[in-house]
Amino acid sequence: MCSPEESALLRLEEVFSATLARINSLVLQPLLAAAPEPSDPRGRECLQLLQQLHRCSQQLWEVTEESLHSLRERLRHPDTVGLESLLLLRGAEGVLQVYLEYIKSYTSCVAVQAFQKTAKKRSEYWRGQRKALRQLLWGVSSEGSVGTALVQALRQPLTHHVQQYVLLLLSLGDSIGEHHPTRELVVHAAALFGDLQSFMRQELDQAVATQALWHALSSRQRDALCTPTRRLLQDSQDIPVTVTPLRAERVLLFDDVLVLLQGHSVHTFDLKLVWVDPEQDGCTFHLFTPEEEFSFCFKDPQGQAVWKWKVTQAVCQALRGNKDFPVLGAGPEPSQPPTCRSMAYTFLAEGRLCQATYEGEWCQGRPHGNFGIRLVPQASEDKFDCYKCHWQEGSMCGYGICEYGNDEVYKGYFQAGLRHGFGVLESTPQAPQHCKYTGHWERGQRSGYGIGEDGERGERYIGMWQADQRHGPGVMVTQAGVCYQGTFQADKMVGPGILLSEDDSLYEGTFTRDLALVGKGKVTFPNGFTLEGIFGNGVGRGLHTQGVLDTAALPPDPSSTCKRQLGLGAFPVESRWQGVYGPFRDFVRAGCPGDLQEALLGFHVQSSKELRKSQEYLCCERTQPDDGVGRMDEVLEELLQHREPEALQQCLRKALSSSLHPLGKLLRTLMLTFQATYAGTGANKHLQGLAREEVKQHAQELWAAYRGLLQVALQRKGQAPEAEEDTETRDLQVHGLVLPLMLPSFYSELFTLYLLLHEREDSFYSQGITNLSLFPDTKLLEFLDVQKHLWPLKDLTLTTNQRHSLVTDKCFLSAIECLQKVITTVDPREKLEVLEKTYGEIEATVSRVLGQEHKLPMDDLLPLLIYVVSRARIQHLGAEIHLIRDMMDPIHTGGLYDFLLTALESCYEHIQKEDMHRLPSRWDSREPR
């Protein structure tokens, strides 16, 4: 059985459907048909509003017809079609949304008097329709204006219909009983349409109040503020307010902006970027915006409470981006707006930031938190400074990237809005002359240890800076291979220094910025001769001197000339890159908070092309502020799960290979500093010692960084921290675990320095190898004094008419192939293992020849090893040997690996000797027996 309420709902829907049809034909279609395409903006606005209202009215009629159909089906088949089939119950939210869209469209027309303005153009026509309009309405005076009648014709049937909905749904709920299966649906629908009643009253009241306001404002103020969707929420003419320190004759609170009127001036503040101070201050409350801070003062607490509540709720509503439902401040969202928000804003006040745009997170009116972007226009219309950074209380703080309008880019750390800590400032490829600074900054200026590269002069400065100038000990390297070490003051060389030329000539004395010798000094030539006196550089006269030339000195030890190393005493290795280590240590000391992870690590893009699109990237990052916390928790948890030696090695390898991991980020920054110092112009043999020190120091710092992260992980789990390591234990882990994992990141630049440093030795070695390669196997074994019973003649497979004395590259082939693998790895330990296997292959071959296991004494091993080395033809063996020696784990000192490396060194030195560069005058043609 169907209830009387259902029948009443059917009649209600039938009447409303017919009324909507009449309104469409009588009001909306004539309004649209009679309105020509207007030429003024306001006229076009009214036409668009009426067109939108017509579409919403059509949708409202369609949903009413659909509801009517569901009611008819229910009344025709009450036994088979349940109450839940009614659209008003099963689709209440959808029906409600159609009503809301209609109300929104209708109130926009009311707010800007769209009906009155359009009807005015055909007043005679509408006066003739007054009688027909009155048939839709009741209680409307025949004396009222046509515009008023049109407004009422579109409002009164709707409000009456919703009111009847609520009454009938409440009655239906009472009639079906508490235990009816559809009671919950009925109660829910009644509540929704009850809320719609309240919302509609509020919307209509706000639209009427807003319409009245536009009439009260001057035309200039109205043009600046009037939009169809804007609604007035509070007016200081109703509840007076005094604004300090700003001045305002009138204060208006809309649903999207706060407005201060002063004469003809209109100051608007986007509510999304308005913060209400929650602190109580008598009859006053304070507001913060990106460019202003001001207070609202009242005569009594009641006025203060009303304004503060309305501003706070309006801010909440603006941030949510939709109207509160059912009424302002009664929505399901929190009543207090979030302190931190993500938003874009363009600064308008005169000054450096005028027209600058910032997009990112804000707190209390200041840029703050995860990465944000600020665009600051330059004098040139098409140039901007683009700041992409972490922000704190309105200033850049933490890691950031700034692309300047003068074709320079800074990547590094900030503090209080200034470059501070470690950073790189570099001209872009489009700049006329390349320049670059990699190093430390203090309050916006280059200060501390840093690397300056001057592309125009072809120079690189390595050393100390102060107040944006080279100041203190420093090393200058030029593209011509000339090196200088001395003292700088206010960007100029002062006092004596050391000058090393490409041919290893050494000058000690004073000289000009262009490295011209001037004043008192001493030159030591590679052959040991010295020239001491007064040097000058006259115009057109070249270098001239007055002094003493000493030719009696003996040639110096090559190790004291070609291996002179600069900078070792001037810049203690542990203090060079504190700006890189410092932020990481601070992050660890703070307990690795996730919200500061991006401030430390920065944001990550895969290429420069993606970097140019990083604004979109940053917006995506800001929508997920908890990601950093999750990532840091995962990092620490993984460290706890992988503490055993083999697992730890895999864990560290994974960490160091990831730019998203704190250890990986630290390694990449250290790689950047290493390349800036030693690649290109910095690839100078006199800097090899400086580079070697840094690599070892970086390994220690990375291990300390891992230990710091592990202690934080243990602390978070409530576990006891690990005991401090002694020096021996630390060195064991650094050389045995960290150095092999990180060395590949520095190997290219480091090995280049070893190549340059040992170039002369390697050239003698290469000449020796070339000469020895002319010997057949048996002649070379004989030449090296290898005992004949150790010759592996069984390995020499002869062809027809071939003799043993003509076969080459066949003896000890397995050992030769093994030794050649030494260049396939960068790990010193693996290189030593290759050497050990090579020794094993030599002994295995000898044992096979002798038919029994045989241990080679040094007298027999050395000539065989020389043979293997000569046939392996490894380029730059001297550089390889010295790098292995320098990077070898100290635990191997005095052990087997040390012995084998010493033997290899002896072979290398032996091949360099002059007797290896001669060939025998004749070869004995007899075959060995």
pLDDT digits (tens, 9 = 90+) for 778-831: 899 999 999 999 988 877 776 666 676 777 888 999 999 999 999 999 999 999
Q: Can you list the alpha helix ranges (DSSP code H) found in 138-182?
A: 146-176
pLDDT score of 618: 39
Least confident interval from 2-16, 144-158, 552-566, 732-746: 552-566
Residue pLDDT, tens place only, 728-772? 899 999 999 999 999 999 999 999 999 999 998 999 999 999 999
Q: Is the pLDDT confidence value at 39 over 80?
A: no
Q: Is the pLDDT confidence value at 320 over 60?
A: yes
Domain assignment of residue 752, yes or no: no
Domain assignment of residue 364, yes or no: yes
Q: Are residues 388 and 488 in the same domain?
A: no
Q: Are residues 167 and 259 in the same domain?
A: no
Q: Is the pLDDT confidence value at 141 over 80?
A: no
Q: Are residues 589 and 700 in the same domain?
A: yes
* Better-predicted residue by pLDDT, 135 or 384: 384
User: What is the Cα–Cα distance from 843 to 269, expressed in whole angstroms?
Assistant: 87
Torsion over CA: 297, 302, 303, 309 (sign):
positive
**Interacting residues of 57 by C-beta distance below 8 A, sequence separation 6+:** 20, 23, 24, 28, 102
For residue 815, the SS3 value is helix
Domain assignment of residue 739, yes or no: no
For residue 566, the SS3 value is coil
Least confident interval from 7-11, 365-369, 581-585, 705-709: 365-369
Domain assignment of residue 461, yes or no: no
Hey, what are 843's tokens? 């002994």
Three-state SS annotation for 728-774? HHHHHHHHHHHHHHHHHHHHHHHHHHHHHHCHHHHHHHHHHHHHHCC
Residue pLDDT, tens place only, 822-879? 999 999 999 999 999 999 999 999 999 998 998 888 889 999 999 999 999 999 999 9
Q: In this structure, what CATH number is given to the domain that contains residue 819?
A: 1.20.1050.80
Residue pLDDT, tens place only, 57-92? 999 999 999 999 999 999 999 888 889 999 999 999
What is the DSSP code string of 9-61? HHHHHHHHHHHHHHHIIIIIHHHHHH----SSHHHHHHHHHHHHHHHHHHHHH
pLDDT score of 614: 42
User: What is the Cα–Cα distance from 823 to 826, expressed in whole angstroms?
Assistant: 7
Domain assignment of residue 774, yes or no: yes
User: What is the Cα–Cα distance from 117 to 151, expressed in whole angstroms?
Assistant: 12
Task: Show which of 311, 334, 357 is a domain's final residue.
Answer: 334
928: pLDDT confidence band, cut at 50, 70 and 90?
very low
* Better-predicted residue by pLDDT, 122 or 651: 651
Q: Are residues 687 and 707 in the same domain?
A: yes
Domain assignment of residue 369, yes or no: yes
Q: Are residues 180 and 247 in the same domain?
A: no
**For residues 567-578, average pLDDT:** 90
Q: Are residues 275 and 356 in the same domain?
A: no
For residue 495, the SS3 value is strand
**How far is it between the farthest Cα atoms of the chain?**
139
What pTM, to 2 d.p., does this model score?
A: 0.73
End-to-end CA distance of the chain: 123
* Better-predicted residue by pLDDT, 924 or 483: 483
Q: In this prediction, what percent of the chain has a pLDDT beyond 90? A: 54
pLDDT score of 739: 95
Domain count, the chain: 6
pLDDT score of 331: 58
Whole-number mean pLDDT of the chain?
A: 86
Q: How many CB atoms lie within 10 A of CB 565?
A: 18
Q: Are residues 712 and 820 in the same domain?
A: no
622: pLDDT confidence band, cut at 50, 70 and 90?
very low
Q: In this prediction, what percent of the chain has a pLDDT beyond 70? A: 88
Instruction: Report the C-alpha dihedral over residues 5, 11, 16, 22, rounded to 10 degrees.
Output: -170
**Interacting residues of 318 by C-beta distance below 8 A, sequence separation 6+:** 255, 256, 270, 271, 272
pLDDT score of 138: 53
Q: In this structure, what CATH number is given to the domain that contains residue 364?
A: 2.20.110
**For residues 10-37, average pLDDT:** 85
Task: Show which of 299, 317, 334 is a domain's final residue.
Answer: 334
* Better-predicted residue by pLDDT, 5 or 519: 5
Domain assignment of residue 291, yes or no: yes
What is the DSSP code string of 276-310? E--S-BTTEEEEE-SS-EEEEE-SSHHHHHHHHHH
Q: Is the pLDDT confidence value at 926 over 50?
A: no
- Residues counted in the chain: 929
Q: Is the pLDDT confidence value at 391 over 90?
A: no
Give the C-alpha distances (Å, rounded to integers) separating 680 from 310, 428, 453, 478, 756: 64, 17, 10, 10, 13
| Among 277-281, 386-390, 714-718, the range of highest mean pLDDT | 714-718
pLDDT score of 611: 41
pLDDT score of 504: 83
Q: Is the pLDDT confidence value at 302 over 60?
A: yes
Q: In this structure, what CATH number is given to the domain that contains residue 254?
A: 2.30.29.30
Q: Is the pLDDT confidence value at 914 over 70?
A: no
User: What is the Cα–Cα distance from 711 to 721, expressed in whole angstroms?
Assistant: 6
Residues of the domain holding 784: 769-912
Q: Are residues 63 and 164 in the same domain?
A: yes
Give the C-alpha distances (Å, rounded to integers) separating 504 from 185, 555, 757, 876: 95, 13, 11, 20
Q: Are residues 20 and 150 in the same domain?
A: yes
* Better-predicted residue by pLDDT, 430 or 462: 462
Residue pLDDT, tens place only, 683-728? 999 999 999 999 999 999 999 999 999 999 999 999 998 899 999 8
**For residues 268-292, average pLDDT:** 91
Q: Is the pLDDT confidence value at 916 over 70?
A: no
Task: Show which of 564, 591, 621 is a domain's final residue.
Answer: 564
pLDDT score of 227: 94
Q: Are residues 365 and 441 in the same domain?
A: yes
Q: Are residues 252 and 355 in the same domain?
A: no
Residue pLDDT, tens place only, 406-442? 888 999 999 998 999 999 999 877 777 789 999 999 9
Q: How many CB atoms lie within 10 A of CB 738?
A: 23
Domain assignment of residue 22, yes or no: yes
Q: Are residues 196 and 239 in the same domain?
A: no
User: What is the Cα–Cα distance from 532 to 516, expressed in whole angstroms?
Assistant: 16
Residue pLDDT, tens place only, 890-908? 999 899 999 999 999 999 9
